[in-house]
Chains A and B, each alone.
Chain A
Amino acid sequence: MSVPGAEQNPRWRRLSARMLLVHPVRELGQAIPALLGLVLAGRAVGNGQLWWLAPLGVVGVIALSVLRWVTTRYRITAEQVQLRTGLLRRKTIATPADRVRSVHVTSSALHRILGLAKVEIGTGSHLPGSGLSLDSLRVTEAAGLRAELLHRSAVAPSEGPGTASLRAVPATAEAAPGDHDTQRDHDTELARMDPRWVRFAPFTMSGVLGAAAVFGIGSRLLNQFGVNAGEVAPIRGGLDYVRRTPFWLDALEGLVALVAFVTVLSIGGYVLSYWGFRLTRHPHGSLHITRGLLTTRATSIEERRMRGVELAEPLLLRAVHAARLSGITTGLKPKRGADGGSSMLLPPAPSSVARQVAAQILGDPAPMEVALTAHGPAARRRRFMRVLLVVLLLSVAAGVAIWWGAPQWLAFAALVTVPAAVMLAEDRYRSLGHTIAGRFLVARAGSLYRRRDALECAGIIGWNVRQTFFQRRAGLATLTATTAAGRQAYEVRDVPLHLALLLAHRALPGLLDDFLTPAPGLRT
């Protein structure tokens, strides 16, 4: 705090005026369907009398952007980040600066041409709309703001305002805008994308999802314009060709084409989102991730909010010795979906690199390397029972379908699933495991989507021990460690009950003591 007066009451700052170029373009892009609708409606209703609706819409959108620029201001005081918006309903959003948990800086291609960036300040609150979003600032301003906010929040909770500490001095001294460039030299690089990693892209699901999206949108569009897919010349040509050639050739060609299409999409997706990926550690205790080819993203995570890491090895990635790494972090919004609440630390990369990065972040190589305690024969039987039950259901369904007149080869298909199911069950069992490694609870499970979680024991809030009817008969339980970070709950699946209790006891000594009885087995 070099000039206390200026820090106390800094002036309100405006967003960059260049945002006036970004907003209309983007909002027009979003409004194109509506505008098209207006034009069509104008034509249909009034023989062209309502043509002025479309330009009016354009003017309206531009006017709104200008209004937003004029009315939006922000400032950062010693205690708060404040954002003021709105013309008629003035709204001031204030967030305590020490509550700032993440700062994202995003620049789309359009932003980058204009030298702008969007800054999103996350407070980790679960309420919607609680974060602040500044769209857009100049790039240097955004970087300065990020450094300022992160250093401040890294220092604030441990010391009260005004008390000088050893850690606070360098942070505040270097927080001035413009100095962050020199600061960057002190960052240690933990990982940097190697262009060869792109070879892992086809082994992720992103290409499949992308292809599904393309087909979905394509068919919707064709439907929308009332076009029958069979009448489009290239598609008709293709269908004719299919009719002329034998079935197996079509199937083969279709498969090759699909694989090629998915591969191209996934590689494109990988390059777009992860190109130039760089993971660095700032000496003040934060991790920085920058990535992206056209839209660049920069994310910062404070290390004191890290409670562990997740190493994800889906089957396909595992086949090519690759893995992804995510952080278990408090204060990021718990999201739904595969990535639920975790923050990406490493894109699909060689698994040795992933383990190395994990070791550096955790400060301990053990959680990712140690052998895990297996869950025993009962857990293995359960894996087989469950998978074979699914196979049985499929077979019955196939049988019923054939009885109803489905082709005979369905029976063959049902038969083929048996060896696949057996291999899946065996692999699912092999994945199961748990242990305590240093400060971390380590658990692993899954085959198609295998994950190894390392959760800091100090971050565990409580235990849930869940047993279904069949688990009780097999003496198994699913132990869940609840936590405020990441997915909020980390499971140790189908572990023998006594091992579960031992694990819980070793992770948080003392908590269970009151509820344990030493002599097992003799009572019913």
Chain B
Amino acid sequence: MQLRDPAHLVSPHAVAYWTVRAVPLWILVLAGELFWLSGSVAHSGLRVAVLALTVMFAAAHLMVMPRWRYRVHRWEVTATAVYTQSGWLIQERRIAPLSRVQTVDTSRGPLEQLFRLANVTVTTASAAGPLRIHGLDRATAEGVVAELTAATSHSEGDAT
């Protein structure tokens, strides 16, 4: 037996969103290293090498991570269950039956608004397993919320 991928990809804008979201961290790291570099002149060769290496890592991360994520992040809602897949190096698939869904939220951070994206969070009675779909375009997100709300409104227990 094998678990197939969920049916739908997220919005292609998500690639740019993930790239931009990862930039501040690298800027912070580089700023720290520049500060260290400007401190004194001893071992300057080593310092420049470290800086160059960081720039290379940053470039590789910013190139690879968003595209890899875009291939992994997928979602699907069937008549009975929600199924999501996320991550890149560490990948996770989450499945929850619709009958156990408690809340369906959608939210848009400032950066997500810039890229016209939204994310959907589906929670169950377990504190451990909210299902999140990141990087959906707005219309799709609203559609998912409407669909899930309709599907879960006529189910009974949530296994608490």
Contacts and interface: CB of A to CB of B under 8 A. Distances in A.
Interface of A: 126, 330-331, 334, 458-469, 472, 480, 482-484, 487-489, 497-498, 501-502, 505, 508, 510-512, 514-520, 523
Contact of B128 (A467, A472, A489, A515): A489
Contact of A465 (B6, B81, B93): B93
A347 B47 CA distance: 57
B159 A488 contact: no
A276 to B, nearest CB: 33
Nearest to B6: A515
Given A482-B126, A517-B4, A512 B95 contact: yes
Contacts of A516: 1-4
A485 B53 CA distance: 47
Nearest to B126: A482
Contacts of B4: 515-517
Contacts of B89: 468-469
Contacts of B158: 461, 484
A514 B80 contact: yes
B90 A462 contact: no
B1 A505 contact: yes
A334 B127 contact: yes
Given A459-B159, A517-B3, 17 more contacts: A458-B159, A460-B159, A461-B125, A463-B94, A463-B95, A464-B93, A468-B89, A472-B91, A482-B129, A484-B125, A484-B126, A497-B3, A498-B2, A512-B3, A515-B6, A516-B2, A518-B1
A524 to B, nearest CB: 12
A461 B129 contact: yes
B70 interface: no
B124 interface: yes
A461 B126 contact: yes
Contacts of B124: 461-462, 482, 484
A512 B127 CA distance: 21
B94 A462 contact: yes
Contacts of B92: 464-467
A489 B80 contact: no
Contact of B96 (A458, A461, A487, A498): A461
A382 to B, nearest CB: 15
Contacts of A330: 160
B100 to A, nearest CB: 5
B102 to A, nearest CB: 9
A501 B95 CA distance: 12
Contacts of A126: 127
Interface in B89-118: 89-97, 100
A274 to B, nearest CB: 29
The 5 A-B pairs at the shortest CB distance, nearest first, are namely: A489-B128, A482-B129, A462-B96, A484-B125, A482-B126
A514 B96 CA distance: 12
Query: Interface size class for chain B?
Result: 20 to 34
B3 A465 contact: yes
A290 to B, nearest CB: 27
A460 B125 CA distance: 10
A408 to B, nearest CB: 29
A501 B91 contact: no
A522 B90 CA distance: 24
B101 to A, nearest CB: 9
12 contacts: A334-B127, A461-B126, A462-B100, A463-B96, A466-B90, A467-B92, A482-B128, A484-B126, A488-B129, A497-B2, A498-B2, A515-B81
A317 B88 CA distance: 40
Contacts of B96: 461-463, 482
The main secondary structure of chain A at its interface with chain B is: mixed
B79 to A, nearest CB: 8
Nearest to B90: A468
A216 B91 CA distance: 42
B121 interface: no
A505 B95 CA distance: 12
A493 B80 CA distance: 27
Interface string B1-19: 1111010000000000000
A514 B90 contact: no
Contacts of B91: 466-467, 472
A480 B125 CA distance: 15
Interface string B142-158: 00000000000000001
Nearest to A469: B89
Contacts of B44: none
A520 B4 CA distance: 10
A462 B1 contact: no
A462 B127 contact: no
Contacts of A523: 2
A511 B1 contact: no
B80 A480 contact: no
A515 B1 contact: no
Given A462-B94, A484-B126, A515 B100 contact: no
A470 to B, nearest CB: 9
Contacts of B6: 515
A468 B90 CA distance: 4
A8 B77 CA distance: 48
A458 B99 CA distance: 13
A489 B2 contact: no
Nearest to B4: A517
Contacts of B131: 462
A510 B94 CA distance: 15
A193 B58 CA distance: 60
A469 B89 CA distance: 5
B125 A511 contact: no
A469 B68 CA distance: 12
B87 to A, nearest CB: 8
Contacts of A464: 92-95, 128-129
